[in-house]
Amino acid sequence: MSRRDLFAGASGCLLASGVRPAPAPESRLSRVEAKFYEKLPNKKIKCVLCPRECVIDDRERGFCGVRENREGTYYTLVHSRPCTFHVDPIEKKPFFHFLPGTLSFSLATAGCNVNCKFCQNWQISQVRPEQVRSVDLPPSRVASTASEYSCRSVSYTYSEPVVFYEYMIDSAQATRRLGIRNAVVTNGFIQPEPLSKLCEQVDAIKVDLKSFSERFYREVVNGELKPVLENLVRVRKAGTWLEIVYLIIPTLNDGDSEFRNLSKWLKRELGTDVPIHFTRFHPEYLLKNLTPTPTARLESAHAIAKAEGLRYVYLGNLPGHPAENTFCPSCRRVVVQRTGFVTRKLELKAGRCPGCQFAIPGIWG
């Protein structure tokens, strides 16, 4: 398959196309044994990949819909079967302190282990793999394609990489052999052991922190907050580069008290140097009744986080806003200038401000 054919094969799955792809026949699904499960009596299994810990009968699937029990052996159905992939600027993930100004080969399979009512990629995250068209893209091909398109990294994104864990790990190992880095865009809803092994294989993790409220997670996300917070601490302690996105949804998670409590927690548990992106919500999926986030709410979150001592606070989906830029905390010089997904100017020298030599944390080269 040529590179042109490869990308043409995924074009029907691009979210921007507005065209629902033809279903994939069951024969196109993978049959690779899954990691992180326990065998139970009567051919049942217990999945221990994410905190749901689904107990699954023979010929049934877990909540994510992409992992299936076949006579007491658990299989991933999406290994090497991405349903969408693109070459993106790394700023789109968004990562602001990880290889700025570079391209990232980004991919996803069907499936997710939560059900956010505001999901922007619900066409692939909330379906089973038979319901979308996928292509055969083994880890070695992920690596070679990323290299061919001069991508400095591969990003596992769009849906939820936890549910295609085995494919992600195998691809990360293949790309590392070519000197290509790996980044994960995740909801952070994963068990400690698989997260620890993931941190050993990838270079950066961005966690979408949906709210700082258990009630919000229960009612709007169909998940849990506590495991996500615990995993933020684990990623930080592991030394894997970490950034956080908080999508501000009007009337649901946009109170000043929540911003303040979140900022205090971040400072106490993670320190002041983990970047947080407060991002503008646009109506999507099951929350089309709400309005886009007012700029004033985003700026309030930014001001509160800065007042609490967080050094790297950004605003997303507001192209041209000054809070897209990275400022040196010491001398206030703009060391990285951005507009939307484009890095306009990168003035760091060996990760330091060229003016006062203050070290800006991140992976810069």
pLDDT tens column, 306-349: 999 999 999 999 999 999 999 999 999 999 999 999 999 999 99
For the chain, report the end-to-end CA distance as a whole number of angstroms: 32
Provide the β-strand partners of residue 316: 279
Pairing of strands 103-108, 153-156: parallel
pLDDT above 50 for 15: no
Between 7 and 330, where is the model more confident? Answer: 330
The tokens describing 326, both together, are 């990275």
Evaluate the CA torsion angle 244, 193, 365, 341 in order and state its sign.
negative
Per-residue pLDDT at 28: 80
pLDDT above 80 for 26: no
pLDDT above 90 for 21: no
The tens digit of pLDDT for each residue in 247-269 reads: 999 999 999 999 999 999 999 99
What would the mean pLDDT of 13-19 be, rounded to a whole number? 37
Per-residue pLDDT at 348: 97
Per-residue pLDDT at 17: 32
Distant-in-sequence contacts of 219-222, Cβ < 8 A, 24+ apart: 220/116, 220/117, 220/118, 220/249, 220/252, 221/114, 221/115, 221/116, 221/117, 221/187, 222/114, 222/115, 222/116
16 confidence band (pLDDT: 50, 70, 90): very low
Q: Is the peptide bond before 227 cis (omega within 30 degrees of 0)?
A: no
Provide the β-strand partners of residue 104: 88, 153
Average pLDDT, the chain: 94
- The CATH code that applies to domain 84-325 is 3.20.20.70
Task: Say whether 58 sits in a helix, a strand or coil.
Answer: coil
Per-residue pLDDT at 5: 52
pLDDT above 90 for 23: no
The tens digit of pLDDT for each residue in 204-218 reads: 999 999 999 999 999
- In this prediction, what percent of the chain has a pLDDT beyond 90? 92
25 confidence band (pLDDT: 50, 70, 90): low
The tens digit of pLDDT for each residue in 34-83 reads: 999 999 999 999 999 999 999 999 999 999 999 999 999 999 999 999 99
Per-residue pLDDT at 204: 98
Instruction: Look up residue 239 and give its amino acid.
Output: G
Determine if residue 45 is left, alpha or beta; phi over 0 gives left, psi from -120 to 50 gives alpha, anything else beta: beta
pLDDT above 90 for 14: no
Radius of gyration (Cα) for the chain, nearest Å? 20
Domain residue extents for the chain = 3-76, 84-325, 326-365
Structural contact between residues 109 and 134, judged by C-beta atoms closer than 8 angstroms: yes
243 confidence band (pLDDT: 50, 70, 90): very high
Structural contact between residues 76 and 34, judged by C-beta atoms closer than 8 angstroms: yes
Determine if residue 320 is left, alpha or beta; phi over 0 gives left, psi from -120 to 50 gives alpha, anything else beta: left
Per-residue pLDDT at 200: 98
